[in-house]
Chains A and B, each alone.
Chain A
Amino acid sequence: MSLSATKFVHPITTPPTSRSSDKPLFSTFFGSNHTKLRFNKPIVAAQRRSSSAASTSFSPVVAVSSDVVKEKKLKSASNLLITKEEGLVLYEDMILGRFFEDMCAQMYYRGKMFGFVHLYNGQEAVSTGFIKLLKKEDYVVSTYRDHVHALSKGVPAREVMSELFGKATGCCRGQGGSMHMFSKEYNLLGGFAFIGEGIPVATGAAFSSKYRREVLKEPGADEVTLAFFGDGTCNNGQFYECLNMAALWKLPIVFVVENNLWAIGMSHLRATSDPQIWKKGPAFGMPGVHVDGMDVLKVREVAKEAIERARRGEGPTLVECETYRFRGHSLADPDELRDPAEKAHYAGRDPITAFKKYLFDNKLASEQELKAIDKKIDELLDDAVEFADESPLPPRSQLLENVFADPKGFGIGADGKYRCEDPKFTQGTAHV
């Protein structure tokens, strides 16, 4: 298996010949005083693709160089990577993510939600590209930037919005908040506030999957876990410990790094000795892949392979998605440190705009169809906000519920009865 690791991404920087000249240089890196570093770029292999894509200023849709993916591509007769239906699903999911986050910002400034709210604008391609390939039983573990992961996984917008408003109808009954989105129904295992904290939990979910398959011998126990985290987390011990364990036991997990180059105000280059995160995969015996995270189809290609690898039981993959967040780290971040030129560069690579163009150019969808989807999402979100507004706040009686799965854990009171039997307990006024 280590052999195939070396076959994955080669750090080739090929000048993108198909780009129009007025676009900013694709490969330079902005936002740091260091010399401009070139990240390895996906190989633009025009000969493997239909030339119709090459004539546009949007870069041809290619996957990262990998022999495995290459083989799969040659099999398909069609030039296109997706069907119309799939295209519309992807588009709708990205629009949902984008519009939802914009609505969050609005609601925050109107005082409907408080605390730390971390928005995902600009990174939608990663969430959509990966999560839309999963089954409902597959697990997703995220960070504090988890609204869009929740939405992509299927958690209704209503429940996410209510949770943000802190209402009792939220997916976590208002007890989690922006940074702790959980859903048992959709197998979203959180939502973690400390970075890196979710990666061991994801490893545990993958372990569970393997255990069910090999010890409990459950047929069809092939759930895959996706762990999403950022570039800052890749300097954290938990990341490395879990890479080791996942590769050691060939756990069905995909580690997805959303490298948006910034950890609040800390540039990835200033924090990391070797900024090429995908390289850290082969060091542990798993393939490391780098992909353009602003392109949903490229992400989807890589994701498909990585997820299928995990499902087959071949072990974990480390996927580094080069992406960017258009807004600050959180709504409280003034975002003054990032170079406006960098922001402009990535704004020009907006995944939604790019994908729209792809759909039009390949005649997969018309302007009207996409506008209809936009309208649908607008209405959905208006409904979600209304629902959240009208939902009740959690009552006092909810305070002491859910602290323990078995409330006997509050112990035996002075009167000999379990504290949870005290009527004040169920009212939430007991002191525990």
Chain B
Amino acid sequence: MATLFHGVGAALTPFSASNKLLLPSPKSESRGAIFLHRSDARVNHAFNLKPATPNQDLFIPNAVATKRETSTKSGHELLLFEALREGLEEEMERDPRVCVMGEDVGHYGGSYKVTKGLAEKYGDLRVLDTPIAENSFTGMGIGAAMTGLRPIVEGMNMGFLLLAFNQISNNCGMLHYTSGGQFTIPIVIRGPGGVGRQLGAEHSQRLESYFQSIPGIQMVACSTPYNAKGLMKAAIRSENPVILFEHVLLYNLKERIPDEEYVLSLEEAEMVRPGEHVTILTYSRMRYHVMQAAKTLVNKGYDPEVIDIRSLKPFDLYTIGCSVKKTHRVLIVEECMRTGGIGASLTAAITENFHDYLDAPIVCLSSQDVPTPYAGTLEEWTVVQPAQIVTAVEQLCQ
């Protein structure tokens, strides 16, 4: 199971009208320490690796000229998996056609506790424990979606959904089109993926690159409790089939989120940290590696603009474009493989659309094209680390 990892970055999207509340929070320290950043500015850290630098406080993301809400103490704090559950529960409450199906989602409460307590509340049919038959229960979810329900299919691990590829590609993605628009498939397929803590190659897969070519689906990746809840709700309410990518290591992130209901846009990216020198595009767990690298970069005098793209398919070309037009340099940091990953597609999309605005070739940092090894050291080297990000930015900004 995931352990407590980094603290949280703020979620500011000046372009998005749907974000109601600004959530400032201080930056996290180095990895390896168990940190808890509270929104009331208390920081409990067990271990401080780096010496304190004088400018440590200056890159608090709310340096952007936006009003600080007076009600920063409102809202409630929770962990990311609780945020997902809250979003799910609110939608199940709102619409009786919303149901969940997956392995161990019912009595067990979900492998990552996202559906804990829901089976007791809504019954075994609404929170359905399925046998281990991914292809068939995903297909069953699709059939249920075609006939009026709004199912959420949970893959215990995203990698298991490889077994459901037939149904996801052929039926989920294409059926609305091949039926001439007669049947909608308002299904949400979600689950944790990504490289965890020595989970081995098969449990550490990044399926977003495999699914991205399927026409007719939308893919989003959540990275904070705030956007996890918002994207979960948006995905459930959407008439399109949506695949929601969560990350094994992010489930225990803590953040204060608003009490009032909010739904985020599935197609928009999130501005994490505005800047001037370089645009760093990232998503999911790599956001935290980027923010950590950003801290070092700011100390060195750089001003990176960090955007969490959130929408993996389709890309939010507007937010990305505005940023490119401002900074003229792009660095993509992702956890996907080098070959055929989201970064590769994003590089192509940016080159196609914003070539004239680039002062330097786009740099894409991805995981190595290697099955994720078990050994901790090897695993660390397959994934992009903050030091590499710092080096890349320095080279890009020469």
Contacts and interface: CB of A to CB of B under 8 A. Distances in A.
Ranked nearest first, the 3 interchain pairs of A and B with the lowest CB-CB distance are A204-B143, A200-B139, A411-B314
A408 B315 CA distance: 12
B186 A405 contact: yes
5 contacts: A193-B170, A204-B146, A215-B126, A408-B266, A415-B318
Interface of B: 96-97, 99, 123, 125-126, 130-131, 133, 135-149, 166-167, 170-171, 175-186, 215-216, 218, 238-240, 266-268, 311, 313-319, 321, 353-354
A164 B215 CA distance: 23
Contacts of B138: 200
Contact of A172 (B178, B239, B317): B178
Nearest to B101: A207
A241 B216 contact: no
Given A244-B133, A405-B239, A411-B311, A184 B143 contact: no
Given A412-B314, A414-B317, 14 more contacts: A139-B147, A171-B180, A175-B177, A175-B179, A176-B178, A182-B183, A189-B146, A204-B144, A205-B147, A214-B125, A215-B126, A409-B267, A412-B318, A413-B318
A283 to B, nearest CB: 15
Contacts of B183: 182, 184, 189
B123 A175 contact: no
Contacts of B240: 404-406, 409
Contacts of A202: 143
Nearest to A210: B125
Contact of A194 (B97, B140, B170): B170
Nearest to A217: B96
A323 to B, nearest CB: 25
Nearest to A207: B144
A203 B139 contact: yes
A183 interface: yes
Contacts of B238: 406, 409
B139 A411 contact: no
A170 interface: yes
A180 interface: yes
A190 B175 contact: yes
Given A409-B240, A411-B311, A238 B178 contact: no
Question: Interface size class for chain A?
Answer: 35 or more
A402 B180 contact: yes
A209 B149 CA distance: 10
A201 B267 CA distance: 28
A25 interface: no
A170 B313 CA distance: 31
Interface string A363-406: 00000000000000000000000000000000000000111111
B131 A410 contact: no
B155 to A, nearest CB: 15
B201 to A, nearest CB: 24
Contact of B140 (A245, A406, A416): A245
Given A245-B131, A403-B216, A211 B178 contact: no
A342 interface: no
Interface of A: 139, 141, 170-177, 180, 182-184, 189-194, 197, 199-212, 214-216, 237-238, 241-242, 244-245, 248, 401-406, 408-416, 418-419
Contacts of B239: 404-406
B318 A416 contact: yes
Contacts, number: 192
A244 B141 CA distance: 16
Most chain-B Cβ atoms within 10 A of its Cβ — which of A177, A202, A242?
Answer: A242
Contacts of A191: 178-179
B370 to A, nearest CB: 30
B177 A414 contact: no
A189 B133 contact: no
Given A183-B182, A412-B316, A414-B318, A204 B139 contact: yes
A171 B266 CA distance: 31
B234 to A, nearest CB: 11
Nearest to A181: B179
A208 B321 CA distance: 43
A254 to B, nearest CB: 15
Contacts of A419: 314
Nearest to B179: A182
Contacts of B319: 412
A200 B179 contact: no
Contacts of B216: 403-404, 409
Contacts of B218: 404, 409
Contacts of B316: 411-412
Most chain-A Cβ atoms within 10 A of its Cβ — which of B131, B145, B180, B238?
Answer: B180
Contact of B179 (A172, A209, A216, A245): A172
Contacts of A214: 125
B143 A200 contact: yes
A215 B142 contact: no
Nearest to B145: A204
Contacts of B180: 170-176, 182, 402
Nearest to A175: B180
Contact of B131 (A171, A194, A210, A241): A241
A405 B176 contact: yes
A176 B126 contact: no
A33 B253 CA distance: 65
Most chain-A Cβ atoms within 10 A of its Cβ — which of B96, B139, B183?
Answer: B139
B119 to A, nearest CB: 13
A138 to B, nearest CB: 11
Contacts of A416: 318
Contacts of B137: 200, 241, 245
B154 to A, nearest CB: 16
Nearest to A413: B317
Nearest to B132: A241
Contacts of A415: 318
Contact of B146 (A170, A197, A201, A418): A201
Nearest to B96: A216
Given A173-B181, A211-B99, A241-B133, A411 B353 contact: no
A363 to B, nearest CB: 43
Contacts of A172: 178-180, 182
Contact of A238 (B136, B147, B314, B315): B136
Contact of B142 (A200, A210, A245, A408): A200
Contacts of B139: 197, 199-201, 203-204, 238, 242
B215 A403 contact: yes
Most chain-B Cβ atoms within 10 A of its Cβ — which of A200, A215, A237?
Answer: A200
B123 A215 contact: yes
Given A203-B143, A205-B146, A245-B140, A402 B135 contact: no
B143 A197 contact: no
B171 A197 contact: yes
A194 B147 CA distance: 21
A216 B149 CA distance: 11
B317 A411 contact: yes
Contacts of B126: 211, 215
A131 to B, nearest CB: 18
A238 B135 contact: yes
A238 B182 CA distance: 25
Contacts of A410: 314
